[in-house]
Structures are given as C-alpha cells and as structure tokens.
Structure 1
Amino acid sequence: MNLPPLREVIAAHGLSASKALGQNFLLDEQLLDRIAAIPGNLRDRAVLEIGPGPGGLTRALLRTGARVTAIEMDRRCLPALAELEAAFPGQLRVIEGDALAVDPASLFDRPYAVVANLPYNVGTALFTGWLSGESWPPAWTSLTLMFQQEVAQRIVAQPGTPAYGRLAVLAQWRSAAKLAMKVHRSAFTPPPKVMSAIVHVTPEEIPAGVSAKVLERVTEAAFGQRRKMLRQSLKGLPGALEALETLGIDPQRRAETLSIAEFVGIARVLTG
C-alpha cells in the first residue's frame, strides 16, 4: 500500500513533537519495520500501541497484518491516525485518552502483544504497571518497548552492576527481558539528547508461593536506600531481617549484590 512519507504526513497536519508529552517522532520506515518484526509473526494478532503520534510505528504494525488498538492523548495526531484507519480497513482502532488511565483488559477479549515507542515521561510507570499484579501469566504475550537507553539497561541489568535495581528484579523474576535493539538519537525528529533502546519482555512461569505485592515492597525498601546495608534498608519492613537470617543472607550486604532468586526468596518467606 502506497502511503505518503511520514515527513509529508507531519507537514500536512502541522504536527511537531511535544516536549510536554515526551514525544519524539521516529520516521525511518525500514527501522520501524524492524521494530515491528521483533515480537514475531503478528498477522491477525491483537496489538496494543501507546502514543502512536503521527503513526510511524502504527503503519509498520499494520503492514504485518496486526490488528492494532492505539491509545493517543494528543488530539493533534488523530486526523493522521484516521487516515491510517481508512487505509487499513478493520485493522486499526484509535482511542483518545491517557494510557495511564485506560485498563487494557477492557480493550481486548483475547491475549495481545504490546508494541510501543513509549513517551519518555510515562514509560516507566506504564512498564511497572504491566509487570505488577498477582495474576500471572498476564493478558499480554510480550512487551516490545522503546525506552531511553539508560532505562532499558536498568531493565535487563544483572546483579552487581551499577544499573541493577528494582526495575531489573521486577522485570526478570517471572519474565525474560532482553535488549533487542539500540536506536541512535539521530533516527528521531527532533533528536532527543539521549540514545534509545528497545526491550523485549516475555512472561515466564511464576515462582511458587511468592506475592508480587510483597516482592515490590521488598525491592522498594532495599533499593530505596541502596547505599545502605540491608539491615538498615529493610529494618522498617516487618519480618524482613528475620527472613534474611532464615535464608542465611548476610544483613551487611547491599541490595545490588543480591540475586533475583535471593529477592524472591525473601518475598517467599514474607508471603508465607
């Protein structure tokens, strides 16, 4: 299908990336097609996209045969997305609204993949929301998400590295997270000040006897004072220091030295 180049679409609708909305437009169609290919075959699959903007990634997803539901809060972009709806009949549904206020479960009656060039200012909040909750496996089959490279590295970080923290534990304790692609700042309009990267996350089997809420509380306490020893950072969490003793974890260690399995172990003791 012959669609006008994205630059023409942006010019025709008088669009410019909004700093307040954390927007940076990606216009390289070949790069967008590579991103759309990361989750695997999307033909006839439900896909959730957040912040499509003028529709660059949207059109790449539609070309795969995916059935896309896109949530966009910038009203200026809706006419450009309406043109895509017309070009791909029955494949695209656009919802105007704030993705943080929309429950994806209300949008789909079947499993769906999430693919998004996330707005920088809400990316982490959306990501942790998708990772949380006691119900597992989740309704989403995979997350393919663009972040600032620094955030992406925090998601896939290993214990003992500077980037390792709460985000890594929450992303990896019951999911597989990998850095799928780095994206140079020059690929965007306007170019952001930082490099970007795409993280691909797929759910795995949940460890038995562990509450997600408890693990979230443990990691929040442990990494909230990451320079302090565990005996100090966890002392405000009832039962946490006793859990360390039960598991034989030295309370003089710092949070970044603990493996994900050790955090899960602490949460399991506190869950029980």
Structure 2
Amino acid sequence: MTGDTLPPLREVIAKHGLGALKALGQNFLLDLNLTGRIARAAGPLEGYEVIEVGPGPGGLTRALLAEGASRVIAIERDRRCLPALEEIAAAYPGRLTIIEGDALETDMAALVKGPARIVANLPYNIATPLLVRWLQTEPWPPWYASLTLMFQKEVAERIVAPPGGKAYGRLAVLAQWRTRPRMLFDVNRSAFTPPPAVTSTVVELIPRAQVLAPADPRALERVVAAAFGQRRKMLRSSLKSLTANPAAMIEAAGIDATQRAEELSVEQFCALARAFAATG
C-alpha cells in the first residue's frame, strides 16, 4: 500500500469502528481537499518535521505527508485510532511516528530532531491550554517555526483581537506578544464528522524573533490574568490582587489607573509586567 492507494477515510472509520468521542473533543475532518489546503497553508513542509496533535483516523496526517513533510509525529490519545495510523505509516515508510499519549503531558520539543512546524485540527477541549503552553515555551524564539491550528471561530477571533473589544483578552495579549497571528480561512461545520455546533477557523501564528516588548513571561501572565479577571473594573481596582499598592505600579508603567484591561495595548501590559516584577 502506498499513499496513493490508501482507502477512503470513511472506509477506514467503518473498518476500525472509529465513532468520534465527545469526551475527547473529536470531530474528524474527512474532506481531503480541505486537509490538503490546511497542509499547504502550513508550508513549505519539505525539510520540516511536523508535530500533529489529535490525528484521529489520519486525514490531515495523509495531507502533511503528501505535501512533503520529512516526518510527521502524530500524538494520539485514542488508541482506537492507532491501527488506522499504522496503515498510513506503512504507506509512507519511515516518515510517520505515532505517539500514543496525552498531548498536554508530552514533551514535544524532545520528539523533533530538526526544523519543525506544528499543524493540527486541535480537539476543542484542549485547544486553548495547548496554545498557551506553546506560547510559554522557553527559551524564545521557540523550537518550532510556525503554528497552523484549527480552533472554534470564537477562539480564533480572541487570538487576533485588537484592544478595545470584548474579544480582546488574555489569549490575545499572550499570542500577539510573542507571535504574529492571523486567521487564514473558515471551515464549515459540515466538513466534519460529526458536525460540531460551531464554525471552525484555521489560524497561523509565526513566532517573533524579538517579542513585541520586554517582559518576564510569568509576570506578564499574572498581570494579564488579574486585569482581565475583573475586566469591567478600572486597573486601580482589578490589580489589587497583585499588590497592596497598585497605583504606584500603574504609575511606574506610565499608565492611567482609570483605564480598563481591554483598553491597554500589548506593549502597555508589558510595561505593567516590568513594573510588577520590579516590586517583587
């Protein structure tokens, strides 16, 4: 069997009894034109190893290999999917490594040997925690060259949101501080089996060689969490959970204490993080 002679995905699902499990956030992507589009959007793949999370029966896996990835490392928690992935591995000898395990507990950097990209139709229930983990990679720039990921559209909008609106929050600050994120294209719910309740969106995040502004990652995370934890309040109130004297910290950052979290730029949050770190 070769990549050109692999059976249709619906046959694979029927053969191996791969009904999608809601508990694992599974929605299988079976449209090979669409998986090919995602793989091409993540490219060029030649010369790159690709980490894929939640491959399921392997629709996107096939596309990544067909587009020339030197090796795909597929991390799958659902052992029911492993035989289907083994069939793909046999069709692409030496180019697919299957890891059975929880992506949130896997040291992905240790799995790659050279230039790498991360490409995935992420299970909805772990998509945001995984993204935050990748954004918190140390040292920076990270071990991966790009992230091409599918999210619920609402989450995608939060990643790229500018200051000033309801979508702007912790995820936007963390993503835009260290990467250049952009929404590539929407994926209709009908493209999945079973169809999810929402539209999905493919997002590209390219790591910045230099972060948008200097800040300690842990300090920035704490400041952003506190500020958006009470986003309706002014900073002088919302940041009381961080320090007994938030006014002094806010003044040191050169920011108006009557502003609210959603009004601050990423650079202003970094200034607050530096001021917070200096008080500690």
Q: Aligning the two structures, in what range does the TM-score lie when normalised by the shorter sequence?
A: over 0.9
Cα distance, 1:65 vs structure 2: 1.4
Name the SS for the 1:20 alignment partner.
helix
Cα distance, 1:221 vs structure 2: 0.4
Following superposition of structure 1 onto structure 2, how do residues 19-58 of structure 1 map, counting pairs within 5 Å? 19-58=22-61
Q: Deviations over 1:143-192 (max 9, x none)?
A: 11111111111001110011000000000012100001111111111100
CA contact (8 A) 1:209 1:271 kept: no
Most deviating of 164-173 and 134-143 = 134-143
Task: Name the residue aligned to 2:90.
Answer: 86
Cα distance, 1:208 vs structure 2: 5.8
CA contact (8 A) 1:17 1:24 kept: yes
CA contact (8 A) 1:240 1:266 kept: no
Mapped to 2, the partners of 1:241 and 1:50 lie a distance apart of 43
Q: Which residue of the other structure, out of 150, 168, 193, is the alignment partner of 1:189?
A: 193
Q: Which residue of the other structure, out of 146, 151, 157, is the alignment partner of 1:147?
A: 151
Mapped to 1, the partners of 2:212 and 2:158 lie a distance apart of 22
Mapped to 2, the partners of 1:108 and 1:261 lie a distance apart of 33
Correspondence 1:203 to 2:207: yes
Normalised by the length of structure 1, the TM-score is 0.97
Normalised by the length of structure 2, the TM-score is 0.94
Cα distance, 1:209 vs structure 2: 4.0
Mapped to 2, the partners of 1:207 and 1:31 lie a distance apart of 33
Mapped to 2, the partners of 1:192 and 1:243 lie a distance apart of 45
Most deviating of 205-214 and 30-39 = 205-214
Mapped to 2, the partners of 1:248 and 1:44 lie a distance apart of 46
Shift in alpha-carbon separation, 1:268–1:134, aligned structure 2, 3 A: farther
| Uncovered stretches (5+) of structure 1, i.e. residues with no partner | none
Amino acid across the alignment from 1:236:
S
Mapped to 2, the partners of 1:108 and 1:70 lie a distance apart of 12
Shift in alpha-carbon separation, 1:171–1:240, aligned structure 2, 3 A: farther
Correspondence 1:5 to 2:8: yes
Shift in alpha-carbon separation, 1:62–1:134, aligned structure 2, 3 A: closer
Cα distance, 1:39 vs structure 2: 1.9
Q: Which residue of the other structure, out of 5, 12, 18, is the alignment partner of 2:21?
A: 18
Correspondence 1:230 to 2:235: yes
C-alpha root-mean-square deviation of aligned residues, in Å?
Answer: 1.3
Name the SS for the 1:54 alignment partner.
coil
Amino acid across the alignment from 1:72:
E
Following superposition of structure 1 onto structure 2, how do residues 108-127 of structure 1 map, counting pairs within 5 Å? 108-127=112-131
Cα distance, 1:217 vs structure 2: 0.6
Correspondence 1:64 to 2:67: yes
Higher helix share: 2
Cα distance, 1:228 vs structure 2: 1.2
Following superposition of structure 1 onto structure 2, how do residues 235-254 of structure 1 map, counting pairs within 5 Å? 235-238=240-243, 240-254=246-260
CA contact (8 A) 1:48 1:114 kept: yes
Once the two structures are aligned, what percentage of the paired residues are identical? 60
Which structure 1 residue ranges, 4+ long, deviate > 6 Å from structure 2?
none
| Uncovered stretches (5+) of structure 2, i.e. residues with no partner | none
Name the SS for the 1:158 alignment partner.
coil
Q: Which residue of the other structure, out of 137, 144, 157, is the alignment partner of 2:141?
A: 137
Mapped to 1, the partners of 2:217 and 2:253 lie a distance apart of 19
Shift in alpha-carbon separation, 1:6–1:230, aligned structure 2, 3 A: same
Mapped to 2, the partners of 1:235 and 1:199 lie a distance apart of 35
Mapped to 1, the partners of 2:276 and 2:238 lie a distance apart of 16
Cα distance, 1:116 vs structure 2: 0.3
Mapped to 2, the partners of 1:207 and 1:124 lie a distance apart of 21
Mapped to 1, the partners of 2:151 and 2:212 lie a distance apart of 27
Task: Name the residue aligned to 2:77.
Answer: 73
Name the SS for the 1:228 alignment partner.
coil
Q: Provide the aligned length of Structure 1 versus Structure 2.
A: 272
CA contact (8 A) 1:75 1:96 kept: yes
